[in-house]
Amino acid sequence: MYRRALFVGRFQPFHLGHLAALKWILEREDIVIIGVGSSQFSHDPLNPFTAGERVEMIWRVLMSEGLLNRCVIATIPDTDKKHSLWVSMVLHYAPRFQRVYTNDPLSQLLFKEANIEVSPIPMFKRGEYSATRIRRLIAEGKPWEHLVPREVARFIKEIGGEDRIRRIYRAFGTS
Amino acid sequence: MYRRALFVGRFQPFHLGHLAALKWILEREDIVIIGVGSSQFSHDPLNPFTAGERVEMIWRVLMSEGLLNRCVIATIPDTDKKHSLWVSMVLHYAPRFQRVYTNDPLSQLLFKEANIEVSPIPMFKRGEYSATRIRRLIAEGKPWEHLVPREVARFIKEIGGEDRIRRIYRAFGTS
Amino acid sequence: MYRRALFVGRFQPFHLGHLAALKWILEREDIVIIGVGSSQFSHDPLNPFTAGERVEMIWRVLMSEGLLNRCVIATIPDTDKKHSLWVSMVLHYAPRFQRVYTNDPLSQLLFKEANIEVSPIPMFKRGEYSATRIRRLIAEGKPWEHLVPREVARFIKEIGGEDRIRRIYRAFGTS
Amino acid sequence: MYRRALFVGRFQPFHLGHLAALKWILEREDIVIIGVGSSQFSHDPLNPFTAGERVEMIWRVLMSEGLLNRCVIATIPDTDKKHSLWVSMVLHYAPRFQRVYTNDPLSQLLFKEANIEVSPIPMFKRGEYSATRIRRLIAEGKPWEHLVPREVARFIKEIGGEDRIRRIYRAFGTS
Amino acid sequence: MYRRALFVGRFQPFHLGHLAALKWILEREDIVIIGVGSSQFSHDPLNPFTAGERVEMIWRVLMSEGLLNRCVIATIPDTDKKHSLWVSMVLHYAPRFQRVYTNDPLSQLLFKEANIEVSPIPMFKRGEYSATRIRRLIAEGKPWEHLVPREVARFIKEIGGEDRIRRIYRAFGTS
Amino acid sequence: MYRRALFVGRFQPFHLGHLAALKWILEREDIVIIGVGSSQFSHDPLNPFTAGERVEMIWRVLMSEGLLNRCVIATIPDTDKKHSLWVSMVLHYAPRFQRVYTNDPLSQLLFKEANIEVSPIPMFKRGEYSATRIRRLIAEGKPWEHLVPREVARFIKEIGGEDRIRRIYRAFGTS
C-alpha cells in the first residue's frame, strides 16, 4: 500500500524552500499531492499568478527534477471564509491522501478537527525563501531569480510576470 | 516554440475513446493540457466522480502510457450557466495554450467568440466509447471494464466507484 | 452521555408522517436535531415555504407536543449540487449528533462516505402522508388539513399559504 | 410628483410586443424603468443575448422612438432560485418606482408579498409577438425580422446573433 | 394577537449580557426570535463557533431558563457585503416578527429603510459583557467562565472551544 | 463605423470631475458606455448608493446635459476578487466598445492582458473632485453640493442620502 500525502500551499510563486520541503516529504512518502490553494485568485499582491500559471511552474519543476511520477498537482479553491467547508473542498479537489504536511496553523486546526493527521515541515532558510519576500523583491526591481528553481524564473519572465507584479503592487498601493 | 493545446472534457470516467483522442492530439501538438471540466460537481448521475478522483485516474493513465512529460492536468469549474464567463475561467485554471480540441458545440461557440482557435476531434468508436454508456453499464451491473484503460478500471474498483454509481442512479431515479 | 441524532428533511410542509417518524426516533434517541434542508429556497413548487416559516411550523408542533426540550431545529442550506460539500454544511449548521435518520438515498450515500452512521425510518402511511401530495391537494383546492398537525394547518392558513401554493403552481405550470 | 413604474422582462430579444406594451405603460406613467431580468445569463436557448447586448438593443429602440428621456434601463440578475431575495435584488438594481407592470405570475406573487403594487399588461398579438417563437424562427432560418423593431433586427445581424442562436440550439439539442 | 420581535446578534459566544437583554425584551414581547447572524462563518477570530454550536449553546440556556416556549432560534447568513439584500435574508430565515431589537447601527439603518420598526437595547455592564472581550480572555488563558451562562461555559469546554480559540488567534496573528 | 468607448467607475456619487471626464471622452468618441462598477454593493462607506440610485443620478445628469443619445449606462458587478474574470464580466454587462478610459491601475492591467486598448483620463481638479472627499464632507455635515452636478445634489437629498451616509460612517466607525 502506498503512503500518500498532501502538501498544501499557495505557491505564489513556487520557490526553492517549497522544493526543499517537497523533497523532504518525498523521503517519507511514496506519492505527494501538491495542493495549490486559493486557486480562484490572481492579480492581487498576495496572489499575482493564476491557477494555471502556478500549475505550469510546478509542472516544469517536477519534470526537470524527474518527479512527475511521484507528484500530482491539484488546484483547490478557497471557501470565502466559510472555513468549516474547507477540508471537504480539499477532499473533493485532491486525489486521496492519508496525511497532510503544512505549517499553516488554520489548516492544521481544520484538518485536526476532521481527524486527518497533520505534520509540520522543517523550514528551509525561512528568512530567504519566502514567497512574500520574493514578490516584494520583484516589485522593487531587485534580484530574486536565485530564490526560485531555474524553471520558475524562466517561466515568470516568459509570461511577463515581473511587470505584472509591479503593476499590481502599484494598483494596490503596496509598492 | 512549443505547440500547446487544450483538450477539454468532463472525463466521467476517462475512457479508451478519450485516450485515443489524446494520442491523436499528441501527434499534432507538443504539449496537451487536459482540462477536467465541471470540476466542482460529483455524486450525481452525470458526474459521479470528484475532481480529485478524475485527476488521479488520468494521472495513472498518463504514467502508464509514459505521457506525464507531455500532458498537464487542470481542473476547471463551471460558471453556473453564466456562459460568458466560461472562457475566462478556462484561461485562469489552465496553463497557456494556442488552440482547443473539443467536439462540444457550446465550447466551440464560446472559444470562437473569444477568438481562440478550435478544432474537432475524430470520434473513436463513438457508439462504444461513451462515458454516458459506461456509467449506465456500471449502474446496471454489466461489464464495462473493457471500455476504459486498465488503470481506470482498477482505480474505480479501489474507491468503490461501482457501488457509488449504483446508489447515485437509485437516488436520482435514473436506474 | 446523551444519544443524539439528526432527522433531516425539507418539511414542505411538516406533516403527520414527519411527526410519527420524529416520535419513533425519540424512542431510540435522547435528543433529536431536526435539520430543515434546502433552507435557502422558497416560492417554488417543491419548496413553497421559507426557512423561517418551516422553523415556525415545527416549533409550534414541538411546543404543542411538549417536545421542545428534546428537539433542536437547525436550518441547512443546499450546496448548489456540489454534493461533496453537503455533509460539511450539515455539520456546520447542526448541533453535534452521532447518527442520522433519513430515507433519502443520496443523503445516505454522502453520510456513509463520511463515516457517519445512517438509519432508515419506517414509513408511516407513505401513500397518504407525503409532502408532494399535500402540496398538490392544496394547489387543487382539495382537503389537506387532516394530513398535517393541527398547528401546521392553522399556521399555513394564517400566512395565506394556500393562496401562495396555488399561485406558485400556476406560475410554474404545474397545476 | 412623477409617476414611475417598472416594466420587467428578459427581452431575449426585445420585440414589437414589448414595444407596444412599453408605449401602453407610458400612457399611464411618467417614467418607466425597463428592468432587464436574468441579466447574468447568455448563450443558452432561453437567453441567447448578453446583458450588454440587450441593453444596447433597447437603447437603440428608445433613441429611435424618442423615448430616452422617459425610460431608464436597468439590468437585474436572478437570485439562483432564492426567490425570497428577488424583490430586494430588483430594488437594488432599479431606480425607485411605485408600481410594477408584469404578466409573470411568480413576479406578481413576489411583489404582492412585498406590498408593491402590480398591474398586468394587455397582450399585443401574443401568438405572434413572442420571444420564444422569435428565437425558434431564427434557429430554423425562417423570417423573423418583421416581429422586432427595425433597430433590433439590424443589431442582431450586426453581432452575428442569428448564427449564435443556431449554434446554441444545436449545442443544447433544442433545434 | 401575539407581539413578536427579533433579537439579532452573532452570539460568539452567547453571554450574560445577551441573556439580560433577552429577558428585558421578553418583558415587552410575547415571542422572541433569536436571530443568529453571520451564520455561515466559523473558525476565525470574530466567529470561532459554527452555526450549530451557537444554536446549541443558546438552546441549552433557554432550556435551563424555562424559555423554550417563548423563544425560537433562527440562523441567518450574511450577504457578502451586499447589504441591500440583508433584510430579505432575515425575513426568509426568521419566523415573522413585528419589530427588531438591535444596537448595531447598520442593521438599524437597513431595517429602517425597509420600514421595519427598530428599538435599541439597554446595555448590561457593557464593559464586562462583551463577546470580543470574552474571546480574548479565552485566547489569553484568563478566567472567562463567569461572563457567560453556566450552560455556555460547560458547552464550550465540552467541544474543546478554548483550545480552538487559542489556535485561531495564533493562526490569524491576533493573540 | 462609430467609435465606442467604455468609461468605468464606481460613481459613489457621480461628481463634476466625472462629468468633465465624460465630456472630454465625448470629444474623442461617438458613443460612451458609462460602466457603473461594483454594482452589487451599497450601504458601506466606499459604496453608499445602490446600483439603481447611481443609474438614476447619472441618467438625470445625461438628460439635463442633452447626452442621453450618446451615452449608455451599464451596471457591472465585481467578481469577488477573482480578478481574472473581471474583463469577461465587463464584456457581458456592457454594450460593445473598442477602448476603455480609466485611471485605475488594476483595470488598466486587466484590460491590457486581454488585449483591449486602455487610455488614461486627464484629472479635473483631482484634489477637489474626489468621491472619497465628497462622502466624507457629507458624513461631516460640511458643504458638498458644489462638487456634484445640480441633479445629483437634488437626487441625493430626495432619497435622504446625507442621512444614510452619516449612519453608514457611524456604523463602520469611519466618521
Residue in chain A nearest F84 by alpha carbon: A42
Of residues E93, E84, E94, the one with CA closest to residue E114:
E84
pLDDT at D7 over 90: yes
Q: For domain D4-171, say whether CATH 3.40.50.1820 is its number.
A: no
Residue F159: which region, alpha, beta or left (left: phi > 0; alpha: psi -120 to 50)?
Answer: alpha
Closest in F52, F63, F93 to D51, CB measured: F93
C-alpha cell at B37: 471540466
pLDDT score of D175: 47
Of E7-11, F70-74, F124-128, which gets the smallest average pLDDT? Answer: F124-128
Question: Cβ separation of A167 and F105 shorter than 8 Å?
Answer: yes
Mean pLDDT of E103-107: 94
Rounded to whole angstroms, the Cα distance separating D26 from D35 reads 15
What SS3 class is residue A34? strand
pLDDT at B1 over 90: no
Closest in E41, E43, E50 to A109, CB measured: E43
Closest in B55, B68, B95 to A52, CB measured: B95
Chains B and E touch (3+ CB pairs under 8 A): no
- On whether the CB atoms of residues E107 and E100 are closer than 8 A, the answer is yes
pLDDT at D174 over 90: no
Report chain C residues whose CB lies below 8 A from the CB of E98: none
- On whether the CB atoms of residues C80 and D80 are closer than 8 A, the answer is yes
ipTM of the complex: 0.96
Rounded to whole angstroms, the Cα distance separating B152 from B58 reads 8
Closest in B82, B84, B88 to F84, CB measured: B88
For chain E, the average pLDDT equals 96
> What stretch of H or E contains E72?
strand E71-75
Residue in chain B nearest C81 by alpha carbon: B41
pLDDT score of A126: 74
Chains in touch with E (3+ beta-carbon pairs under 8 Å) read A, C, D, F
Query: CB contacts < 8 Å between D and F, how many?
Result: 72
Question: Cβ separation of C81 and B44 shorter than 8 Å?
Answer: yes
Question: Cβ separation of E81 and F50 shorter than 8 Å?
Answer: no
For chain A, the average pLDDT equals 96
Say which residue the cell 483595470 belongs to: F107
Say which residue the cell 470574552 belongs to: E134
Which residues lie below 8 Å from residue B77, measured CB to CB, with a gap of 6+? A77, B38, B39, B40, B89, B93
Chain A positions with Cβ closer than 8 Å to E: 80-84, 104-106, 108-110, 113
Rounded to whole angstroms, the Cα distance separating D10 from D41 reads 10
> What stretch of H or E contains E43?
none
Q: What percent of chain B has pLDDT over 90?
A: 93
Per DSSP, the residues of D85-108 read GHHHHHHHHSPP-SEEE---HHHH
What SS3 class is residue B124? coil
Question: Cβ separation of C93 and E39 shorter than 8 Å?
Answer: yes
- On whether the CB atoms of residues E72 and E33 are closer than 8 A, the answer is yes
Q: Choose, out of F43, F47, F80, F163, the residue to mutate when testing the contact with E (most E CBs < 10 Å).
A: F43
Question: Cβ separation of C92 and E159 shorter than 8 Å?
Answer: no
For CA atoms A154, A157, A162, A165, give the dihedral sign.
negative
Cα angle: E103, vertex D91, F9; to 5 degrees: 95
Alpha-helical (H) ranges within chain D are: 16-28, 51-65, 86-93, 105-113, 131-139, 150-158, 161-171
Residue in chain B nearest D168 by alpha carbon: B106
Residue B68 vs residues A95, C153, D146, E75, E83: alpha-carbon distances, Å: 16, 63, 57, 48, 48
- On whether the CB atoms of residues E76 and E90 are closer than 8 A, the answer is yes
Digits of tens for pLDDT over chain C (175 positions)? 789 999 999 999 999 999 999 999 999 999 999 999 999 999 999 999 999 999 999 999 999 999 999 999 999 999 999 999 999 999 999 999 999 999 999 999 999 999 999 999 988 777 788 999 999 999 999 999 999 999 999 999 999 999 999 999 999 986 4
Per DSSP, the residues of F41-67 read -BSBTTB-S-HHHHHHHHHHHHHHHT-
pLDDT score of A175: 47
pLDDT band at residue E137 using 50, 70 and 90 as cut-offs: very high
Report chain E residues whose CB lies below 8 A from the CB of F43: 83-84, 106, 109-110
Closest in A85, A87, A92 to C89, CB measured: A85
pLDDT score of E175: 47
Question: Cβ separation of C167 and D105 shorter than 8 Å?
Answer: yes
E137-140, long-range: CB < 8 A, 24+ apart: E138/E162, E138/E165, E138/E166, E139/E165, E139/E166, E139/E168, E139/E169, E139/E174, E139/E175, E140/E175
pLDDT band at residue D17 using 50, 70 and 90 as cut-offs: very high
What are the residue ranges spanned by the domains of chain F?
4-171
Report chain D residues whose CB lies below 8 A from the CB of F59: 72, 95
pLDDT score of D124: 79
pLDDT score of D126: 74
Question: Cβ separation of B50 and C104 shorter than 8 Å?
Answer: no
F6 CB-contact burial (10 Å; exposed 0-12 / middle 13-18 / buried 19+): buried
Closest in A41, A43, A172 to F110, CB measured: A43
Report chain C residues whose CB lies below 8 A from the CB of E50: 91-93
E160 CB-contact burial (10 Å; exposed 0-12 / middle 13-18 / buried 19+): exposed
Question: Cβ separation of F93 and D74 shorter than 8 Å?
Answer: no
Burial D119-158 (b: 16+ CB within 10 A, else e): eebeebeeeebbbeebbbbbbeeeebbebbbebbbebbee
Burial C30-57 (b: 16+ CB within 10 A, else e): ebbbbbbbbbbbbbbbebbbbbbbbbbb
Residues B38-96 pLDDT 10s: 999 999 999 999 999 999 999 999 999 999 999 999 999 999 999 999 999 999 999 99
Closest in C50, C80, C164 to D109, CB measured: C164
Question: Cβ separation of B95 and A55 shorter than 8 Å?
Answer: yes
pLDDT score of E124: 79
Report chain E residues whose CB lies below 8 A from the CB of C73: 72-73
Rounded to whole angstroms, the Cα distance separating F131 from F147 reads 9
pLDDT at A117 over 70: yes
pLDDT score of F93: 98
